């Protein structure tokens, strides 16, 4: 039986179109991914090589590596400026296949980003560590001393300093992700005023929940453009899987629809009945995030 030439062409066209559509969908799916990390200071391994082994044991994909203590020093108490010490961290990361999601300046939870006089060496040291360790994101919390909700008068100096910091991290093509107490609407306005593609948001579930805001709505307001990373945990009370304030499936659906990819970092969400059991708390939260976001 002879097939009509036009019919053959039509069949081939449909087959080719179907294949290309499937390939495109698969490529898009493969491109979007979520990885799960833990804060090294919260697992009691602040800038310690042991953080990689512990992260590996609880099956985290990475750690958020801290720059070290700040106190009243002119800059962070960091080993990462020493090439020999820094290489130890890189070697351990490679050996255990545990990545570095971001480099954190957690000292600013308690110190004032707005008022400290030695901001330049602090930021420059962090950017240098990012460059030398090939890490693209730094985490900067605007903590209690630079809380714009309680201290709105600090807004001009914080914007000025973030503009400068954006220029520094922009030189290496990196991003500084800030955490504030502001609503997503107000944080988006702040980022637009800073007007730097190198300054973005580090969104924290706990900030939304503590202030009676809906996580999904806040994520949608911020949008993919402004979102560098997520601290995917609540304040200590329940493990994530048991937390009635967090609808993780809906959060994943929202991030999928936003086509956002990146690191989900566990900071807290410890069970208060066993708050000091690092392996149990972080192991459970990492496992739950991976179950929801990677299966």
Q: What is the model's pLDDT at position 20?
A: 47
Residue 22 lies in a domain: no
pLDDT of 24 over the 80 cut: no
Q: Is residue 13 part of a domain?
A: no
* 56 lies in some domain: yes
Total number of domains constituting the chain: 1
Chain centroid to CA 88: 23
Confidence check: pLDDT of 3 > 70: no
CA-CA distances (angstroms) from residue 181 to 5, 70, 103, 109, 213?
67, 21, 20, 12, 11
If you average pLDDT over residues 36-49, what whole number do you get? 98
Q: Are residues 188 and 227 in contact, defined by beta-carbon separation less than 8 angstroms?
A: no
pLDDT digits (tens, 9 = 90+) for 141-150: 999 999 999 9
The CATH number that applies at residue 153 is 3.20.20.150
What pLDDT, on the 0 to 100 scale, is given for residue 188?
Answer: 98
Structural domain includes residue 105:
yes
The pTM is what? Answer: 0.89
Residue 236 within any structural domain of the chain: yes
Q: How far is CA 72 from CA 116, 140, 242, in A?
A: 9, 18, 40
Is 20 part of a structural domain of the chain?
A: no
Structure token digits, residue 81: 């400026």
pLDDT tens figures, 218-267: 999 999 999 999 999 999 999 999 999 999 999 999 999 999 999 999 99
pLDDT at site 15? 46
Domain span including residue 113 = 33-294
Residue 28 pLDDT > 90, yes or no? no
Q: pLDDT of 99-150, one tens digit each?
A: 999 999 999 999 999 999 999 999 999 999 999 999 999 999 999 999 999 9
Residue 73 lies in a domain: yes
User: Does residue 7 belong to any structural domain of this protein?
Assistant: no
pLDDT of residue 295: 85
Q: What is the pLDDT of residues 51-65, one digit of tens each?
A: 999 999 999 999 999
Taking residues 287-293, what's their average pLDDT? 98
Q: How far apart are CA 113 and CA 158, in angstroms?
A: 7
Least Cα distance to 42 among 53, 32, 51 occurs for 51
- Whole-angstrom distance, CA of residue 229 vs CA of residue 178: 9
């Amino acid at each position: 039986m002879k097939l009509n030439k036009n019919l053959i062409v039509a069949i081939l066209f449909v087959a080719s179109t179907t294949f290309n559509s499937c390939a495109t969908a698969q490529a898009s799916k493969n491109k979007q991914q979520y990885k799960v990390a833990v804060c090294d200071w919260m697992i009691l391994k602040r800038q310690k090589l042991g953080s990689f082994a512990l992260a590996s044991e609880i099956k985290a994909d990475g750690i958020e590596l801290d720059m070290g203590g700040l106190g009243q020093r002119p800059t962070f108490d960091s080993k990462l400026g020493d090439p020999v010490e820094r290489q130890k961290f890189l070697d351990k990361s490679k050996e255990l296949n545990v990545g570095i999601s971001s480099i954190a300046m957690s000292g600013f939870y308690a110190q004032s980003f707005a008022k400290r006089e030695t901001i330049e060496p602090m930021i420059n040291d962090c950017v240098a560590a990012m460059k030398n360790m090939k890490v693209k994101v730094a985490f900067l919390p605007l903590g209690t001393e630079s809380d714009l909700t309680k201290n709105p008068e600090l807004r001009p100096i914080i914007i000025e300093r973030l503009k400068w910091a954006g220029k520094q991290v922009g030189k290496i093509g990196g991003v500084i992700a800030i955490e504030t107490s502001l609503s997503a609407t107000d944080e988006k306005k702040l980022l637009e005023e800073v007007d730097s593609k190198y300054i973005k948001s580090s969104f924290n579930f706990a900030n939304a929940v503590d202030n009676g805001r809906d996580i999904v709505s806040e994520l949608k307001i911020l949008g993919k453009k402004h979102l560098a990373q997520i601290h995917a945990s609540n304040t200590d009370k329940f493990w994530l899987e048991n937390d009635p304030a967090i609808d993780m499936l809906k959060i994943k659906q929202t991030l999928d629809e936003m086509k956002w990819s990146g690191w989900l970092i566990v900071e807290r969400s410890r069970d208060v009945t066993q708050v000091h059991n690092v392996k149990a708390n972080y192991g459970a939260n990492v496992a739950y995030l991976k179950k929801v976001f990677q299966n």
